[in-house]
Structure 1
Amino acid sequence: MTTQHSTALITGASSGIGAVYADRLAARGYDLVLVARREDRLQALAAQLEQRYGVKVTTLTADLTEETGIRAVEEALRSNNAIDTLINNAGTAQMAPFLAGDVAQHQAINMLNTTALMRLTYAVLPRLAENNRGTLINIASVLSIHARAGSALYSATKGWVLNFTRGLQEEFADSKVRIQAVLPAATATEIWEISGVSVNDLPEGSVMTTDNMVDAALAGLDQGEQITIPPMHDESLWARYEEARLALFDSARTGEPAPRYLSR
């Protein structure tokens, strides 16, 4: 990952994965725009990173579940021509039966995990396309390829993120704009405090630290990966998954009903 005095905007930057991305990019010489709801944490992190790495760090307090927050970050992306890296990290989860939450809660999760991500991407991509350089990193989840009881909404939003990112990768395949989807598994962040599931209830040894997650994701980016699953050790699993996925897609292009659906 090379820099030309780049500036990265990171959402959900006040803690967890976002804060580690901020540290790692600052160490690589990036100036930063840090976005989150908690102003006190943002300012403390900004001061720490400026002192440690000598980079310029600005903060933007915004709630991306609300229209005003999304518009504020869109404006920052469009007006700051130095921003050539966007990390769409902000997200939330409620691991509970769908009917256990109300529509307003579900809408807020959907707004943050999908709508805000799409709009911020739209705000920065024209400049990346024009300059034929830059980086977009979308944080999805391994639950983008799996759903279980209690994860219907979260899995759906992260599946959206994965497919949205895949489509953009196809559109920008011939450019020098790098677009990566990161699919963390269980990671030790504050999301568990609001998700309804305690991190202590997860299988021992299954939870990755935020430092390891981000370091692996950045290593994947440096190696040219488009989709990075930090805790996946056997790469052949993904290769077989992709082969089956594409075969399934191709099999549905016959234009004819399958024999099992024809009356006998």
Structure 2
Amino acid sequence: MSTALITGASSGIGAVYARRLAARGHDLVIVARATDRLNTVAEELRAAHGVSIEVITADLTDTASLDPVLERLRSDPPVDILVNNAGAGLLGDFATANPDEMYKLLRLNVLVPTLLASAVIGGMVERGHGSIINIASVLALLPEYSPGIYAATKSYVLTLSQSLAAEVSSKGIYVQAVLPAATRTEIYDRAGGDISQVPNVMEVDELVDAALIGFDRKELVTIPPVPEVAAWEAFEHARFALAQGFSNAEPAARYRG
């Protein structure tokens, strides 16, 4: 029986991943700041599915709290699936953003998933199997729609997933980037927003169920709300077509004075 570690597992996307993976028979390590909520999830899933649930209370922006999670990823029983879900938002524009708040967001959305993946990847490579699920956002592809640095942090998560997959997929490791659009979670309330003012919001259960279908199909990038996969394939084709010009040793003619 394999083990999955899920961050941000006390509510929202993380809690639904915990329920779905437990139903599939995975033992879990669930991580979040809210101990009471984590214990409630753990008791529910032990009773429903008879799986082992470890609970780690951690504020991942705090080094002392993060270290036990990193150590668990390096220890036995091995973690076979890492769900890098913990994240936050930050409303407002770049010019008026509080530097301390930007630092916290960068730490949680960028540094933490990087360190967690780094902690688990060595063991996965040694065993020749494992999966990393990184929760990004469609705003990684549409930064113009999101003032401030949130979109940039999710662009990093997408790029990390793509580069990591290129490095380790041949070694038996599967990496998936999930790009939700507007989804009904607490991230809006925590950032000081109002989800009721957001149109076309996907329910979190539907998001995770779709993401897990993409997981089973071994998709590198899963965007649940996009109707046709051909749209993503065309985007990727255009990206690689653009890259054909990157190896030119001379500037393009339009840049020669």
- Per the shorter chain, which TM-score range? over 0.9
Structure 1: gaps spanning 5 or more residues: none
Alignment of 1:257 onto 2:251? yes
Runs of 5+ in structure 2 lacking a partner?
none
| Greater mean deviation of Cα atoms: 57-66 or 246-255 | 246-255
Deviation per CA, 1:77-135, whole angstroms, max 9, x where unpaired?
Answer: 11233311100000001131113321110000000001010101011100100001111
Distance 1:7 1:104 in 2: 35
Provide the residue aligned with 1:220 in structure 2.
214
Which of 13, 16, 34 lines up with 1:17 in the alignment? 13
Contact 1:96–1:196 (Cα < 8 Å) also in 2: no
Alignment of 1:187-226 (within 5 A): 187-203=183-199, 206-226=200-220
Q: Secondary structure at the match of 2:144?
A: coil
Identity %: 44
Give the distance between the partners of 1:91 and 1:164, measured in 2 at CA. Answer: 15
Counterpart position of 2:150:
154
- When the two structures are aligned, how many residues end up with a matched partner? 257
Contact 1:86 1:135 in 2 (8 A): yes
SS in 2 for 1:114: helix
Q: In 1, distance between residues paired with 2:76 and 2:83? A: 15
Say whether residues 1:233 and 2:227 are aligned partners: yes
Structure 1 partner of 2:238: 244
Structure 1 segments of 4 or more deviating over 6 A?
none
Cα distance in 1 between the residues matched to 2:164 and 2:25? 27
Return the alpha-carbon distance in structure 2 between the equivalents of residues 139 and 218 of structure 1: 12
TM-score between both structures, scaled by the size of structure 2: 0.97
Instruction: Give the CA RMSD over aligned residues.
Output: 1.2
2:28 to 23, 29, 32: 32
Q: Which residue type is aligned with residue 218 of structure 2?
A: G
1:74 partner letter: L
Per the alignment, residue 85 of structure 1 pairs with: 81
Deviation of 1:186 (Å)? 0.6
Distance 1:247 1:68 in 2: 45
Kept in 2: contact 1:97–1:149 (CA 8 A): no
* TM-score of the pair, normalised by structure 1: 0.94
Worse-superposed segment, 144-153 or 189-198: 144-153
Q: 1:41 aligns with which of 34, 37, 43?
A: 37
Q: Answer whether contact 1:98 1:150 (CA < 8 A) is retained.
A: no
Alpha-carbon spacing, 1:151–1:196, altered in 2? closer, same or farther (3 Å):
farther
Q: Is the 8 A contact 2:136 2:155 kept in 1?
A: yes
